[in-house]
Amino acid sequence: MTQSLDLQQAQRAIDTIRLLSADMVEQAQSGHPGTPMEAAPIAYLLYTRHMRYNPKNPTWAGRDRFILSCGHASALLYSMLHLSGFGLTMDDLKNFRQVGSPTAGHPEFGHAPGIETTTGPLGQGISVGVGMAMGARFLQQRVSDKLFDYTIYGLCSDGDLMEGVAAESASLAGHLRLGNLIYLYLDNKITIEGDTDLTFTEEVATRYLSYGWQVQHVEGENVQDLDRAIAKAKHSPRPSLIIARSHIGFGAPNKQDTHDAHGAPLGAEELRLTKQFFGRDPQTTFAVPADVAAHMGEMGKRGAKLDADWQRALTQELQKNTALAAWQKAADGELPAGWNDLPSFAAGEKLATRQASGKTLNTLAGKLPLLLGGSADLGPSNNTNLKGEESFTPCTVGRNIHFGVREHGMAAVLNGLAHTPGLIPFGGTFMIFADYMRPPMRLAAMMGLQTIYVLTHDSIGLGEDGPTHQPVEQLPNLRAVPNLTVIRPGDANETVEAWKAAIANRKGPTALILTRQGLPTLDRSVFAAASGLHQGGYVLAREQGDLQAIIIASGSEVPLALAARQELQKENIGTRVVSLPCWELFEQQTQDYRDQVLPPACRNRVAVEAASTFGWERYVGLQGRIIGMHGFGASGPAGELMKTFGFTAENVIAKVKELL
- CA–CA separation, 416 and 241 (whole Å): 19
CA-to-CA distance for 630 and 585, rounded, in angstroms?
26
Report the amino acid identity of residue 456: T
45 residue type, one letter: L
Tell me the helix, strand and coil percentages in the chain, rounded to 5.
45, 15, 40
What is the DSSP code (8-state) at residue 259?
G
- Cβ contact 438:414 at 8 Å: no
Segment (H or E) for 153? strand 152-156
Beta strands in 471-619 (DSSP E): 485-487, 510-513, 518-520, 538-541, 549-553, 575-579, 605-612
Q: Which of 345, 369, 370, 339 is nearest to 357 (CA)?
A: 345
If we measure between CA atoms, which residue out of 590, 594, 447, 513 comes closest to residue 121? 447
- 487: helix, strand or coil: strand
Distance between CA 583 and CA 198 in Å, rounded?
46
Spatial distance between the Cα atoms of 302 and 51, rounded to a whole number of angstroms: 11
Q: Exactly one of 26, 116, 168, 407 is catalytic; which is it?
A: 407
Q: Residue 263: exposed, middle, or buried by beta-carbon count in 10 A (0-12, 13-18, 19+)?
A: middle
Whether 340 contacts 500, CB under 8 Å: yes
**Quick check: is 494 catalytic?**
no
Note whether 549 and 604 are within 8 A (CB): yes
SS3 of 168-217:
HHHHHHHHHCCCCEEEEEEECCEECCEEHHHCCCCCHHHHHHHHCCEEEE
CB 392 within 8 A of CB 138: yes
Q: Where are the alpha helices (DSSP H) in 431-582?
A: 434-447, 474-479, 492-504, 558-570
Which residues are CB-contacts of 4 (< 8 A; sequence separation ≥ 6)?
none
Residue 164's H or E segment, with its range, is helix 164-176
**Side-chain-side CA neighbours of residue 608 (13 Å):** 33
Residue 54's φ and ψ, nearest 5 degrees, are -125, 105
DSSP string, 338-397: TTT------TT-EEEHHHHHHHHHHHHHHH-TTEEEEESS-HHHHT---TT--EE-SS-B
With b for 16 or more beta-carbon neighbours within 10 A and e for fewer, the 416-441 pattern comes to: bbbbbbbbbbbbbbbbbbbebbbbbb
The SS3 assignment for 538 reads: strand
Name the strand (E) or helix (H) holding 638: helix 638-644
Total residues found in the chain within this entry: 660
Catalytically active residues are 407
